[in-house]
Structure 1
Amino acid sequence: MSHEPAERWDGRAPGVETIAAAYLMAAGGDAGLALRRAIADALADLSEAERRIRQQDRLISRGYVRAGRSGTAL
Structure 2
Amino acid sequence: MSCPVEAIAAAYLTQTSGDLALALRCAITDALADLLEAERRTRERSRLISRGFVRGQMEDTGDRP
Deviation of 1:49 (Å): 0.2
Aligned partner of 2:33 in structure 1 is 44
Equivalent residues, number: 59
Report sequence identity in percent. 61
TM-score by length of 2: 0.85
Mark the runs of 5 or more structure 1 residues left unpaired by the alignment: 1-5, 8-14
**Structure with larger RCO (C-alpha < 8 A, sep 6+):** 2
- Runs of 4+ in structure 1 over 4 Å off: none
Distance 2:23 2:54 in 1: 47
Question: Which is higher, the Rg of structure 1 or of structure 2?
Answer: 2
Mark the runs of 5 or more structure 2 residues left unpaired by the alignment: none
Opposite residue 50 of structure 1, the aligned amino acid is E
